[in-house]
Chains A and B, each alone.
Chain A
Amino acid sequence: MSKIVVDPITRIEGHLRVEAEVSGGKVSNAWVSGTMFRGIEKILQGRDPRDAWFWTQRFCGVCTTVHSIASIRAVEDALKIKVPPNAQLIRNLIIGIQTVQDHVIHFYHLHALDWVDITSGLKADPVRTAQLAASLSPWPNNSATYFKGVQEKLKAFVASGRLGPFANAYWGHPAYLLPPEANLMATAHYLEALEWQKDIIKIHAILGSKNPHPQTFLVGGMSIPIDPDSQNALNADKLIEIKRLLKKAQDFVEQVYMPDLLAVASFYKEWGAIGGGVGNYMCYPEFPDASGNTWLPGGAIMNRDISKVVELDQKKITEHVDHSWYQDAGAGKGLHPYEGATDPNYTGPTPPYDFLDTEKKYSWVKAPRYEEKPMEVGPLSRVLVAYVSGHKETKEAVDMVLAKLGVGPEALFSTLGRTGARGIDCLLIARQAPKWLDELVGNISKGDFHIHANEKWDPATWPAEAHGYGWHEAPRGGLGHWIKIKDRKILNYQAVVPSTWNASPRDASGQAGPYEAALLGTPIADPEKPLEILRTIHSFDPCLACAVHVLDATGRETVQVRVC
């Protein structure tokens, strides 16, 4: 038995470390550690609740809208503010295109190199590559000339002798199974997706001023004004540009991402039985309409039982710190986000170190549990819950993918299932987003320019004390923010984040978190080059800056402003 360390896990957001024991060519035990901490929730105490979205947005610059959304929802819940329909639709568009863009970037730029050997593409025949691509999709770039051009660029790059970000990778690893033509096709689309992502996210610039970190969110609505007769507001010119970009997004997802995903998956079907994880799946309802109903359902599936969806109750969420570097205020018991009280207390090795003490505390990530069970969140949970709930579009898309790959629903509980579900999620949202735009245009046509509920903007209108929570389905899964407000200031703020659920360490009873559980049994061909570990970890799309935080309910800290 040998213990291997992968640190840094690259092609993710943030700082993640894996320590794994390998015996008999398989992972026999694994520990996952978040190695960076900032303490933003502690910093939030005493500040204006209307600012919280701007601060919590900085949890993460990759899923750069999600904390803003959860935060304004939490404050709106606490203050009982009803958001105007236009603001709700603008938010849905922002959330939707964030998810679509994020999933495509994840597939091509963060995950693909686990399956695609770029160097093999140098040996591909461009004519046969074009034939392969044309057999999969009507995408206009599928010509031999195009693929030859990409291949020649690659050759020139390699000949320069400076491989930059592609140096030292696991190229030539025996676990790479794609033929050279599929590798070349995927490499070409890696480059195309790089261009595409910066274009379609201009929707955030139009509606949100910029991306990353759009800046038009407001408690009570949005700050992007609507007026078809003004050049300083959302007008026909800008709406038609959004429509064009949404079409561009949908076309790429339908004609490039999904065909590539299915093509790559067809070579790696054994990964439909690897990387299953904890087997409990949870998601929150998302994409509200004017009446408060949501387009996608929330709920939980326990122990892979797809006969029913369990209704969620936010009171059943707790966080544990038995293996996390925090003081244990709950004395061994998990605490609800409203009640949590924790301070950082690092007890790990002094850096530089070779190994963490995984018997004790070993991560800055906490261990959230639902009814004391570890839960997987993310696109797979979202798709499973919608599928089992009978959500029509989801059911059709899942059945299409399963049929094309010739596998049953049980293959969804895997590394491949996670990666496939992300594609399905992306496809469904890319198709849905134009409908929100149409609805927004319809409202504007009727003369509704309302973007903000002003009545509660002035803190003088607020009660002395309030508390609330906001749920959001981020690209990486269920996100919740809980806020307590006292005297118009933040008393306590707590975020339970998708990657906190997924990257959680063990809890008091020794239950492993989803990453840790998913790594068990993963085959390792070469412990020096643990490509297979990256496949399973990347299938979750880790986002570690989000995952690590601290909460504190022990009274509010006065903000000290230095004067000099």
Chain B
Amino acid sequence: MQTHSVLLFRSGQGEVRMTKVRTEQTGEMRENGLQREGYSVGELLRERGVSRRDFLKFCSTLTAALALPPSFAPSVARALDEVKRPPLVWLEFQGCTGDSEALLRSANPTVGEIVLDILSVDYHETIMAAAGHQAEAALDRTIAEQRGKYFCVIEGSIPMKDGGVYGCVGGKSHLERARQVCGGAAATIAIGTCASYGGIAAAAPNPTGAVGVKEAVPKANVINLPGCPCNADNLTATVVHYLVFSKIPALDSHGRPLFAYGKRIHDNCERRPHFDAGQYVEQWGDDGHRKGHCLYKMGCKGPATFHNCPSQRYNEKTSWPIAAGHPCAGCSEPAFWDVMSPMYNRLPSVPGFGIEHAADAIGLGLAAGAAGAFIVHGALNAMRKDKEPGEDTKEG
């Protein structure tokens, strides 16, 4: 096995090196009887007619999504140039396929590039050509032959009640499949709020005993990417983070990457100046609504929600809920279905509400008020973190 490392940058804390294992994938290609060595992502993109310029542009976008400085773009490009399409299996459990649909909308890279060029998506029921036992065989092959090397993405919650009878595929319960597949994965990505924390199925009274992946399979190496659905840009960025740095990104206390969930919506919100100035929407379609004033009084949960929606937006940065005049529903927070609803009720107990107030005081006041009535152990914990996004990268 040959390892290869590239110096990315030096900081006060030391050097950041990118380390790659180069020969394993090649060995597998030889076993398959192919003459040629494995294609790297960069080579494949060129084969598919993607210009170097477009490739570098794509790397810059990813670098931005990862909350890294622009000077990282060449390093991202170099890493992708060397990585051979890592295998990925995608399992859907108690979900609505919304996260798969989000993947279909991804633009940087597009789903076509993800599926054909960047990853080897060996199992994904919504898009795969094979069905029935042939589909199951494809999954079995990847988890046997690529043990320790494949990514597992899980969409949807896992029902634990009554022996898991509330979700089966191929006659096997979701729990059984999760244990089988997560166990051999390099990393498991729980995509969406259901896979992360149980989501809507786990809302009271949780009829099926639904839980998130980490709770169902505690030993799994899980990265949570909540959101309803997850922003596909955050999925791509997580995978690339792993490829570039050879380790999973730094996570907050809810298992979410800091690069995407390290800041409150409220702190990055384009309407924040209106909050600070006491300018609110009072009624749908009123003057304030038309002028883009703050949606706090209409029930916005942005002050208690950690997510990069304001900067990353959706559908190629076209929009996001607050920009389109609707409150944030808090969908990336654990148990938001219960603790953030009713959707149009404003967050409780905000000291000094309606007058200009120091942002942090309101934020902490909110969380303190919320902690009594709400479950949000997360908001408070995460808010107390003094870690900045990107700090996770400052180690070898």
A residues whose Cβ falls under 8 Å from a Cβ of B: 5-15, 35-40, 42-43, 47-48, 50-51, 54-55, 58-62, 64, 105, 109-110, 113, 118, 149, 152-153, 156-157, 159-162, 164-171, 191, 194-195, 197-198, 201-202, 204-213, 215-216, 218, 220-221, 223-227, 230-233, 344, 346, 348, 350-354, 364, 449-452, 454, 457, 529-530, 534, 545, 550, 557, 559-564
Q: Are B343 and A54 in contact (CB under 8 A)?
A: yes
Q: Are B135 and A161 in contact (CB under 8 A)?
A: no
Which residues of the partner chain A approach B122 to less than 8 Å between Cβ atoms?
162, 164-165, 167
Q: Are A352 and B166 in contact (CB under 8 A)?
A: no
A-B contact pairs, 25 of them (CB 8 A): A13-B126, A38-B200, A39-B207, A58-B96, A59-B96, A60-B97, A61-B97, A149-B49, A153-B48, A157-B116, A161-B38, A164-B119, A167-B128, A168-B130, A194-B110, A206-B324, A216-B324, A223-B324, A225-B289, A232-B291, A232-B292, A233-B289, A233-B291, A550-B207, A561-B339
Interface set, chain B 81-139, CB cutoff 8 A to A = 85, 87, 92-102, 104-107, 110-112, 115-116, 119-138
B216 to chain A, nearest CB (A): 15
Residues of B in contact with A, size category: 35 or more
B residues whose Cβ falls under 8 Å from a Cβ of A: 29, 32, 34, 36, 38-39, 44, 47-49, 85, 87, 92-102, 104-107, 110-112, 115-116, 119-138, 157, 159, 162-174, 176, 199-201, 203-208, 210, 228-229, 283-285, 289-292, 313-316, 318-326, 329, 335, 337-339, 341-345, 372-375, 377
| B207 to A, closest residue via Cβ | A39
Q: How far is the CA of A230 from the CA of B291 in the complex (A)?
A: 6
Which residues of the partner chain A approach B131 to less than 8 Å between Cβ atoms?
6, 8-11, 534
Q: How far is the CA of A7 from the CA of B169 in the complex (A)?
A: 6
Q: Are B324 and A346 in contact (CB under 8 A)?
A: no
Q: Are A168 and B208 in contact (CB under 8 A)?
A: no
Query: Given A43-B200, A215-B321: A164 and B130 within 8 A (CB)?
Result: no
Of A161, A346, A454, A529, the residue contacting B165 (CB under 8 A) is A346
A353 to chain B, nearest CB (A): 5
Q: How far is the CA of A310 from the CA of B159 in the complex (A)?
A: 42
Q: How far is the CA of A36 from the CA of B201 in the complex (A)?
A: 11
Which residues of the partner chain A approach B199 to less than 8 Å between Cβ atoms?
58
Q: Are B166 and A38 in contact (CB under 8 A)?
A: yes
Q: Are A201 and B315 in contact (CB under 8 A)?
A: yes
Q: How far is the CA of A35 from the CA of B121 in the complex (A)?
A: 24
Query: Given A35-B167, A43-B203: A233 and B325 within 8 A (CB)?
Result: yes
Which residues of the partner chain A approach B36 to less than 8 Å between Cβ atoms?
159
B330 to chain A, nearest CB (A): 11
Q: Are A211 and B324 in contact (CB under 8 A)?
A: no
| B127 to A, closest residue via Cβ | A165
Q: How far is the CA of A561 from the CA of B38 in the complex (A)?
A: 53
| B174 to A, closest residue via Cβ | A36
Across the A-B interface, give the 4 residue pairs with the lowest CB-CB distance, nearest first.
Answer: A61-B98, A232-B292, A209-B324, A169-B129
Q: How far is the CA of A6 from the CA of B169 in the complex (A)?
A: 10
Q: Are A452 and B38 in contact (CB under 8 A)?
A: no
Q: How far is the CA of A561 from the CA of B164 in the complex (A)?
A: 24
| A152 to B, closest residue via Cβ | B47
Which residues of the partner chain B approach A449 to less than 8 Å between Cβ atoms?
285, 290
Q: Are A64 and B210 in contact (CB under 8 A)?
A: no
B155 to chain A, nearest CB (A): 9
A400 to chain B, nearest CB (A): 31
Which residues of the partner chain A approach B107 to less than 8 Å between Cβ atoms?
198
Q: Are B344 and A354 in contact (CB under 8 A)?
A: no
Which residues of the partner chain A approach B121 to less than 8 Å between Cβ atoms?
164-165
Q: Are A39 and B201 in contact (CB under 8 A)?
A: yes
